[in-house]
A and B are shown apart, each in its own frame.
Chain A
Amino acid sequence: MSAKSVTDADFQTEVLEHDKPIMVDFWAEWCGPCRAVSPILDAIAAENSDKLSIVKLNVDDNPATAEKYGITSIPAMFVFEKGQVVKRVIGAKPKPALEADLAEFLA
């Protein structure tokens, strides 16, 4: 299973109005570490589908959202809850490290 993509156009409805915690993976085609972390996020999403949703946003195609959240380094993984950023994780990490960062949302 691969994470669903969101865009500048549907960010409001898909992310900010989402009814449970949702993580946005800010990524780009040219980013090697993003390619590395993508399957790890897919695995975390599949194992925790009832608790945390995970979607991806391509920063080249959706510069407005990336700019709005001050993205200067990718992969950047932000968790949103009720329209607010509640957690920021930056940089590709091994699965156990990412799970530790996200522990409060996976419990």
Chain B
Amino acid sequence: MRQVIIVGSGPAGYTAAIYAARANLQPLLIASSVEFGGELMKTTEVENFPGFPEGIMGPDLMMKMQEQAERFGTEIVYDDVTKLELDGDVKRVTLGSGEVHEALTVIYATGSAYRKLGLEDETRLSGYGVSWCATCDGAFFKQKKVAVVGGGDSAVEEATFLTRFADKVYLVHRRDSLRASAAMQDRAKADPKIEFVWNSEVAHIYGDEKVTGIGLVSTVDGSETTLDVSGMFVAIGSDPRTHLVHGQLDLTPEGTIAVQGRSSQTSLPGVFAAGDVIDPTYKQAATAAGSGVVAALDAEHYLAAYAQAHTTSASVAEPATASA
């Protein structure tokens, strides 16, 4: 049996692993089979993670975190968790391979998943012009027209990135102003390739084999318009990945895992949560890393108390046996 199992391999998971490994807890980290490294694997230049003044590529940053975790004895498994049993002193983690691992503590750091628009043709045309990742797919839209849907940081970042390839980028937002940071807004507004389409929601995606256009509905007067684009990038936020713990851990009204105060303590003893899965607000690589530290330290304290409780009860029992 393990001391600690960490589920997730983004900045929160790896930072928790670094701390837990340095505390000699020999953590097992379940990294996922295809999404290992988390959200940053899909980004390019990361310019706001401290310690990298020249910036660093997202995938390279994650490789470094992984190496740092492994250096102190973290064991990493590239598989997906299919079932978690978090009740009781011993937690059970079942993997896609069927393997079952047991531990006294679990640190849950599964991050979040992209939100969909919820349109019928969105799934059908996914990979055929509908995308959630400009850095992955942008290069296929050289000299084409594309639309980005959303108004936050990630939407504006995607739109700006896409101007490297596309001739024209429409930024479609259902309100009349952006939520994105001022610096990013200024950059996008100064870009001649970006055209803002305000107060509009996507109602249709057109195309048989691939995207040929999108239909918009005005949020002001309900009027309909069409944009001829060959790509649509969806950047309307993300939802915490909590499906494995539904019915086991308490959630907040925002859908994140509820934790006590500034700690990582969930509603079950021995279960800690970190990163975007507990954070409806900030969702940064650096805040996730900090949150991973908290979870590892909380797990360490829990394990120390657990060990003490069990040795005390054992030493109380021993003299009785000796005298008998």
Contact of A93 with B127 in the complex, beta carbons under 8 Å = no
Evaluate contact between B136 and A93: CB separation under 8 angstroms: no
A-B interface pairs (CB < 8 A), number: 71
List, in ascending order, chain A residues with CB within 8 A of B209's CB: 70
Q: Which of B127-144 contact A (CB under 8 A)?
A: 127-129, 131, 135-137, 139-141
Given A71-B140, A72-B141 in contact, is the A92-B34 Cβ separation under 8 Å? yes
Residues of B within 8 A of A52 (CB): none
- Whether A32 lies near B140 (C-beta < 8 A) is no
Q: Are A72 and B210 in contact (CB under 8 A)?
A: yes
B150 interface residue, CB < 8 Å from A? no
Please determine whether B34 and A37 come into contact, CB atoms closer than 8 angstroms: yes
Q: Report the minimum CB–CB distance from A94 to chain B (whole Å).
A: 4
B270 at the interface (CB under 8 A from A): no
Q: Is the CB of B36 within 8 A of A36?
A: yes
CB pair A33–B34 under 8 Å, yes or no, is yes
Say if the beta carbon of A95 comes within 8 Å of chain B.
yes
User: With A33-B41, A96-B96 known to touch, is A40 a contact of B34 (CB < 8 Å)?
Assistant: yes
Cβ of B311 under 8 Å from chain A: no
A46 close to B (CB within 8 Å) = no
B141 CB to nearest A CB, Å? 7
Which of A32, A35, A37, A70 has the most CB atoms of chain B within a 10 A radius of its CB? A32
What is the minimal beta-carbon distance from B225 to any residue of chain A, in angstroms?
Answer: 24
Mask for A53-76, Cβ within 8 A of B = 1, else 0? 000000110000010001111101
- What residues on A are CB-neighbors of B34 within 8 Å? 33, 36-37, 40, 92-94
Q: How many chain A residues touch B (Cβ–Cβ < 8 Å)?
A: 25
Whether B41 and A90, one on each chain, are in contact in the complex, defined by CB atoms closer than 8 angstroms, is no
Say yes or no: A76-B36 contact (C-beta < 8 A), given A33-B42, A94-B80: no
A31 near B: Cβ within 8 Å?
A: yes
Q: Shortest beta-carbon distance, A15 to chain B, in Å?
A: 20
Q: In whole angstroms, what is the CA distance A31 to B140 when docked?
A: 12
B59 at the interface (CB under 8 A from A): yes
* A98–chain B nearest beta-carbon distance, Å: 9
* Closest chain A CB from B167 CB (angstroms): 16
Q: How far is the CA of A14 from the CA of B32 in the complex (A)?
A: 33
Task: Identify which of A40, A72, A74, A91 gathers the most chain B CB atoms within 10 Å of its CB.
Answer: A72
A73 pairs with B41, CB closer than 8 A: no
- Cβ distance A42 to chain B, nearest Cβ, rounded Å: 13
Q: Tell whether A102 is near chain B: CB-to-CB under 8 Å.
A: no
Q: Which of B36, B41, B42, B135 has most A Cβ within 10 Å?
A: B41
A-B CB proximity, top 6 nearest: A90-B127, A32-B41, A92-B34, A94-B33, A73-B127, A72-B140
Where the two chains meet, the residues of A that have a C-beta atom closer than 8 Å to any C-beta of B are 28, 30-33, 35-37, 40, 59-60, 66, 70-74, 76, 90-96
Residues of B within 8 A of A (CB): 32-37, 41-42, 44, 58-59, 79-80, 96, 126-129, 131, 135-137, 139-141, 209-210, 230-231
Between A and B, 20 residue pairs with Cβ closer than 8 Å are: A31-B136, A32-B42, A33-B34, A33-B35, A35-B59, A37-B34, A40-B34, A66-B140, A72-B128, A72-B131, A72-B231, A76-B127, A90-B126, A90-B127, A90-B128, A94-B33, A94-B79, A94-B80, A95-B96, A96-B96
